[in-house]
Amino acid sequence: MIATSNRFYAEFDLACFSDAVNGPRAGDHRGIFAQERDRIVFSNSFRRLQAKTQVFQAGEYDFYRTRLTHSLEVATIAKSILTHLICQETMFGPGFHPDFDLIEAVCLAHDIGHPPFGHAGERALHALMEPYGGFEGNAQSLRILTRTIYPTEDGRGGMSPSRALIDGILKYKRLFRARGGDTHHFIYEDQRPILDFCFGSAGALRKDRREPNGFRSIECQIMDAADDIAYSTCDIVDGARARFITTDKLRRWLSRNASRLSPPQAARIERVAQRLGEGFLNASMSKAIGEFIGACRLVPVTNFMTPKTRRYAFNLAIEPEQLDQIKVLKEIGRTMIYGAPELQQIEYKGSHLLRRLVDAFSDVYLTRGVPRLKLLPIELHERVAGTAKRADRARLLCDHISGMTDAYAIRTYKRLSDPDYSPISEL
């Protein structure tokens, strides 16, 4: 395999995770990170994002974003952030900067583990899995890359991801048992060996005693910043198209909250309201994306990982004024879109639907010995039926449900619950 000529990366970064379900990587004409990007793009898990909820239920309206288009936008923003840093920061330069293929792979994979129906689906699956180690979208993304992305003769296998790719998608590094009262922002207990591999030794991060979820590689930080920028701009555009956000609503919100907003925040909201009224919100948000990218800068740091890798030698910072504007736009999204009764009714419906699927599969596959019915695809049914531990069977069920698209989950629910729904064409 072609090694990267980028001096930013050492052999430590390029090492690939290997175990019983992650075999050695075959070499070809691509670099390691380009190969990983391509593997993600051509995976079933990635394609399913085209039919998973971002803001509105996938397929419910035309021209609204899905998890797939969101991931593509995050990747584009992240690469623009990196280009800006290379042009503006003397700490980066030719042959010494984070890799574009790696940044793209991290962003394309960052939501690959999210279930149907957005965060409502995540909460429903966590309720199923809490006795067995929980469910978390970021942890599921890691599970897909290292455990389930490829079919094998014995079940499923991982893509042997590089240390840099694993670390790039790991926004959260706290193990399930250490989550405190959180219902999310953790990884699964059986992912401890992957976490140890990520840091090059067993328990390295725990021994360092820092907050694990705030300790991120530069690639992960760039992805997270791009995700926030996309959330604060693109979701606003979709909310306005759906009439959740209007000029009048924005100005009323601004009037009620003006006393606690900074002048730049208030000016940003007024500008959004004005451009929305003029019919140019999309152009305004595109310009905002460029402004937020231009506000990114590097801060050199030293920690226990810097002797091993340059990926932990820098923090990404956003200029305070622009960061405040991102925060207030995110607040608008949470209040006017995600907090709207109409959208929460849809979320409730999705959560209710997934809970009923969980109940049906649990009744057949978790509460008895040998399943008396075949509710799963035959190969998965046989695998679950042949799995001895209840927790392992539950995890296989969770993999199946979380991998569903919105539409597939609805069809499965109807087949199991709706007496008037039994189209022969689907069989």
Q: Which residue has the higher pLDDT, 404 or 369?
A: 404
CA 173 to chain centre: 14
Place of tokens 């979709």: 238
Joined together, the tokens standing for residue 107 give 């962003």
Provide DSSP, 24-76: PPPP-SSBHHHHHHHHHHTSHHHHGGGGSBSSS-TTSSSS--BHHHHHHHHHH
Question: Do 179 and 188 form a contact (C-beta atoms < 8 A)?
Answer: no
Cα dihedral 154, 159, 162, 165 sign:
negative
Q: What is the pLDDT of residue 53?
A: 76
Question: Do 272 and 236 form a contact (C-beta atoms < 8 A)?
Answer: yes
The tens digit of pLDDT for each residue in 317-364 reads 999 999 999 999 999 999 999 888 988 888 898 899 999 999 999 999
Distance CA 185, CA 132 (A): 16
Q: pLDDT band at 371, cuts 50/70/90?
A: confident
> In this model, does residue 56 exceed pLDDT 80?
no
Q: Quick one: average pLDDT of 171-189?
A: 89
> In this model, does residue 4 exceed pLDDT 60?
no
Q: What is the pLDDT of residue 413?
A: 94
> In this model, does residue 108 exceed pLDDT 60?
yes
**Is the overall model pTM greater than 0.85, yes or no?**
yes
Of all residues in the chain, what percent carry a pLDDT higher than 90?
Answer: 75
Question: Do 381 and 373 form a contact (C-beta atoms < 8 A)?
Answer: no
The tens digit of pLDDT for each residue in 16-32 reads 999 999 998 888 899 99
What is the rounded average pLDDT for all residues in the chain?
Answer: 91
Among 39-43, 203-207, 303-307, 409-413, the least confident range: 203-207
Place of tokens 């994979």: 109
Compute the C-alpha angle 395/398/399, nearest 5°: 90
> In this model, does residue 380 exceed pLDDT 80?
yes
Domains of the chain listed by start with CATH number: 11-66+95-214 (1.10.3210.10), 218-340 (no CATH), 342-421 (no CATH)
Where are the extended beta strands (E) located within 76-158? 150-152, 155-157
Among 83-92, 268-277, 366-375, the least confident range: 366-375
State the alpha helices, DSSP H only, in 115-245.
Answer: 118-129, 137-143, 163-169, 192-199, 204-208, 218-241
Q: pLDDT band at 61, cuts 50/70/90?
A: low
Among 36-45, 114-123, 181-190, 418-427, the least confident range: 418-427
**Three-state SS for 299?**
strand
> In this model, does residue 391 exceed pLDDT 70?
yes
Q: Quick one: average pLDDT of 414-420?
A: 87
Q: What is the pLDDT of residue 2?
A: 46
Q: What is the pLDDT of residue 57?
A: 62
131: Cβ contacts below 8 Å, ≥ 6 apart? 391, 394
